[in-house]
Amino acid sequence: MKKFLTLLFTCFTLAAFSQQETASLAISNDSKLTISKYIYGQFAEHLGHGIYGGFWVDKSLPVEKQDRIRLDVVNALKKIKIPSLRWPGGCFADEYHWRDGIGPREQRPKMVNTNWGGTTEDNSFGTHEFLELCTLLGTEPYFAANVGSGTVEEMSKWIEYVNSNSTSTIAELRKQNGHPDPYKVTFWGIGNESWGCGGNMTPEFYSDEFKRYASFAKNYPGAPLKKIASGPNSDDYNWTEVIMKNIPEWDMWGISLHYYTVPTGDWGHKGSATKFTEAEYFETMVKCLKMEELVTKHAAIMDKYDPKKHVALVVDEWGVWTDVEPGTNPGFLYQQNSMRDALIAATNLNIFNNHCDRVRGAALAQTINVLQSLILTDKEKMLLTPTYHIFDMYKVHQDAKYLPMQLTAPDYVSGDRKIPAVNVSASQDAAGKVHISLVNLDPTKNISISTGLKDIKWKTVTGQILTSKNITDINTFDQPNKISLQSFKGAKKDGDNLVVVLPAKSVVTLELF
């Protein structure tokens, strides 16, 4: 009898975990929008081991390097085609003075990084080193200028230093420091989080400061500036209202938005990156999906003042922010990266893709060893996180034609609460191939999706999947490939329709051609 009850319980458990629900999806070819590649940008701040020990390593470390730039990291990021890299912060940007980071390294002044751990910053990684890194990566630099503790002249001279080919003293200094030609850096953030660590300003005061700084942010030949205003914190809609009202649309290329998925919603105790229940997982996904609301509401305010959508919404800090890993420096923001984080990354990218009319830039926080990283390092060891693999899957959407859709899907239910179980985005590349990225947030139920593709001709479908046994699974230096991309066989052509069985807690990208 006991064996029978055990068998019966096992059968019921397996049945519960193999439940399959249905969804329908209709994708149209009726669009003139493009998914900007800059949505897939990254962020590297002078914080913890993001720069030092991440990109920029000790001369004695036994890894391949150019100068002190770590090349296995460079090669991994080149593979996913990161389009832009934001630097030097973050909060660090508004205490950074660029002249400290040029010239002979042994003569550069040292400073204390008061924002992140009180460590000594030796300024060995400065403007030239960052721009050399960007050259190796084949990516565009995105500078965050110091408005909080800097001056208009300081920012203006920095732009001149990197962009001017004149015979001015500043341009000649760049040439003396080893780079005869101008770098032609076009992306410039005018301050960072000016409502907080960047100066605790009101939106009225900041908008005036932006106009003052932007007046002296000059264009040089071949480098028309894309000036990005320091935008709102999360749901501060008044900040967006004031900025859009007070700053002429032609003065700014974009306005930033910062929002982090904090699992508990409590900044004092954010929750573990690796040890969480399904109830805590559900709560985290509720927080993640708030990005849809934020983008929609901020975009609606921008539409009032900029109906032709000249100004981009740039979500240049986003990602999961948990408690640090036990035993690590709290100021270094080092956290592990689980299957949950991969689902969050894919969901956010789908939101950005589907709002590509307004969202034309973003930056995951952060690239290496900090917050929701793509890469983790430990001395000579390096691993790719589940989040890295999402960016690898999604690179097909960069600068591709956006394909609008209508989705009807089941909910993921927890107690008396529910969220959409599925989210999707789709695009068509220059070769005519259609790519569909699907996310199933439900950790236990497979979902069968029938998809109609209006005015889209295709014959075959291939795909990749990222999933794992548990939502808490991670890659470690002992098991670096526990979560990795696999070939996906769960999609087929059924007449004119596409039928996909989307496994629980998975991300799938399909290619139709």
DSSP 167: S
Catalytic residue (choose from 129, 209, 283, 317)? 317
Catalytically annotated residue among 45, 129, 193, 209: 193
β-bridge partners, 406: 26
What 3 state SS string does 357-372 have? Answer: CCEEEEEEECCECCCC
For residue 453, with 0-12 CB atoms within 10 Å meaning exposed, 13-18 middle and 19 or more buried, which class applies? Answer: buried
> Residue 249 catalytic?
no
Contact 392, 342 (CB under 8 A): no
Active site annotation includes 317: yes
Range list of H helices, 112-181: 127-137, 152-163, 169-176
> Using an 8 Å Cβ cutoff, are 452 and 28 in contact?
no
Ordered DSSP codes for 246-281 = HS-GGG-SEEEEEEEE-TTS-TTS---SS---HHHH
Structure-block tokens of residue 299: 């975009």
Distances (CA, A) of 248 to 216, 252, 254, 506: 16, 7, 11, 43
Q: Please name the amino acid found at residue 182.
A: P
The one-character DSSP state at 39 is: G
What residues contact residue 9 under an 8 Å CB cut-off, 6+ apart?
none
For tokens 């760049």, name the residue.
174
- Sign of the dihedral defined by the CA atoms of residues 302, 400, 505, 458, in that order: positive
DSSP string, 401-412: EE--EEEE-PEE
CB neighbourhood size of 276 (10 A) = 20
Report the catalytic residues.
Answer: 193, 317
